[in-house]
Amino acid sequence: MPAATLDAFLNSYLGQPDELRSAVVATVRQLTQAATKIRNTINQGVLGTAFAGTRGANADGDIQKDLDIFADDIFLDAMRHAPVALYASEELEQPVLLDSKAPLAIAIDPLDGSSNIDTNVSIGTIFSLLPATGAPDGNPAASFLQAGVNQLGAGFFIYGPQLALVLSLGSGTHVFVLSTRLGTFVQAYESRIIPQRTQEFAINAANYRHWDEAVRLYIDDCLEGIEGPREKDFNMRWIASLVADCYRILMRGGVFLYPGDKRKGYRQGRLRLVYEANPIAYLIEQAAGAATDTITRILEIEPESLHQRVPVVFGSAREVARITRYHTEPSAIGERAPLFSRRGLFRA
């Protein structure tokens, strides 16, 4: 039986059409067209017209590449042809009002991992679909200050060996790959399930000296391997591309940590809640994983500003829960409790 196309999946989701579902479907279709244009430009590499040159800094202080701006322009133009009231982007200080009567708001990181552009590492586009609330033309920021549980859907494109779309519209996390032969996205994986346990973690270990004690203790225990309190060997992975690390976890499990640390400007982490952490958390939870700010569920955090940053831990549910215990009740971790010495009765 041939694999389902993205169009077939979207038609199935549409079911009995209503305004919101119809808007979601139309918007996803516009996003795929825009992502295909981005992929074609990325594939030209340094031979293309928009690549890895530096423009300056965006509204949140991060260095912008030429391709960041190019991608933002492509997606903004695509959303002008979708039922979207408001467009918010990492590259723009304020949301853009497109159609005050449209039912959706989209928050997007047009080109995640752009620092990897000139090293040929996978990069991507992350998006969050929200209901437009209140009066979009009066208070455009309000639609983006909703907790992540209110998302109607979320996803990311990853520009790697294949152009893939990871998408959830509230019923599992599905993966589609662009077929150049068919000229459309085809479902590669249906309803991904992340294993609850893992022996793989992703973190930038160069920041070890800046971490809080709970993070250091967790990583120490993993690194001690089979001889340590976890009694199993761990592998470390760190691509420094959020979409690439997330895609790997969706494929084979693992846990990702980008905690806050003691460096100036890093106390609240570096990932943005609205257009990075929320959509990733939505995808991870729909795949039976978990996502927190080390303690609180990401999707329950009420954003205070569009570009708000947040510490992020996501992946295999039991490992995420364990990391929370390192922060909230380290004495309850069996192998660290004095009563049970280093090898306790409550090993994971």
113 close to 121: Cβ distance less than 8 angstroms: yes
Last residue within a domain, chosen from 189, 223, 252:
189
The reply, when asked if residue 302 is annotated as ligand binding, is no
Residue 126, pLDDT score: 98
Q: How many other C-beta atoms are found inside a 10 Å radius of the C-beta of residue 185?
A: 27
151 Cβ contact list (under 8 Å, min separation 6): 128, 129, 130, 278, 279, 282, 299
Residue 115, pLDDT score: 78
- Same domain, residue pair 180 and 324: no
Residue 263, pLDDT score: 96
The reply, when asked if residue 76 is annotated as ligand binding, is no
**Can you give the CATH number for the domain in which 217 is found?**
3.40.190.80
Residue 346, pLDDT score: 37
The reply, when asked if residue 148 is annotated as ligand binding, is no
User: What Cα–Cα distance (Å) separates residue 182 from each residue in 6, 140, 178, 228?
Assistant: 12, 39, 8, 51
Amino acid sitting at position 138: G
Q: How far apart are CA 217 and CA 211, in angstroms?
A: 10
Q: What is the pLDDT of residues 221-233, one digit of tens each?
A: 999 999 999 999 9
**Can you give the CATH number for the domain in which 56 is found?**
3.30.540.10
Residue 55, pLDDT score: 58
195: in domain: no
- Same domain, residue pair 156 and 17: yes
**Count of domains for the chain:** 2
- Same domain, residue pair 141 and 276: no
Q: How far apart are CA 15 and CA 22, in angstroms?
A: 10
Last residue within a domain, chosen from 167, 189, 211:
189
The reply, when asked if residue 168 is annotated as ligand binding, is no
What are the residues facing 130 on neighbouring strands?
A: 105
214 Cβ contact list (under 8 Å, min separation 6): 294, 323, 326, 327, 330
194: in domain: no
The reply, when asked if residue 115 is annotated as ligand binding, is yes
The reply, when asked if residue 113 is annotated as ligand binding, is yes
- Same domain, residue pair 221 and 74: no
Q: How far apart are CA 113 and CA 71, in angstroms?
A: 12
Q: How many other C-beta atoms are found inside a 10 Å radius of the C-beta of residue 53?
A: 13
Structure tokens at 36: 């295909």
Q: Is 311 helix (H, G, I), strand (E, B) or coil?
A: coil
Instruction: Give backbone dihedrals phi and psi of 66, rounded to 5 degrees, phi first.
Output: -55, -40
Structure tokens at 292: 């927190």
| 200-202 and 235-237 beta bridge pairing | parallel
Q: Which residues of 81-94 are buried (b: 16+ CB within 10 A; e: fewer)?
A: ebbbbbbbbbbbee
Amino acid sitting at position 63: I
Residue 227, pLDDT score: 94
- Same domain, residue pair 96 and 233: no
123: in domain: yes
Last residue within a domain, chosen from 189, 224, 251:
189
10 Cβ contact list (under 8 Å, min separation 6): 25, 28, 29
Torsion of CA 59, 62, 63, 68, to 10 degrees: -70
Q: Which domain holds residue 133?
A: 6-189
Residue with tokens 């009740």: 329
293 close to 272: Cβ distance less than 8 angstroms: no
32: in domain: yes
Among residues 304, 258, 274, 285, which one has the least CA distance to residue 148? 274
81: in domain: yes
- Same domain, residue pair 261 and 289: yes
Which regions of the chain are under pLDDT 50?
1, 338-348
88 close to 306: Cβ distance less than 8 angstroms: yes
- Same domain, residue pair 153 and 176: yes
* Largest pairwise CA distance in the chain: 64
The reply, when asked if residue 111 is annotated as ligand binding, is yes
Q: What is the pLDDT of residues 68-126, one digit of tens each?
A: 999 999 999 999 999 999 999 999 999 999 999 999 999 999 999 877 877 888 999 99
347: in domain: no
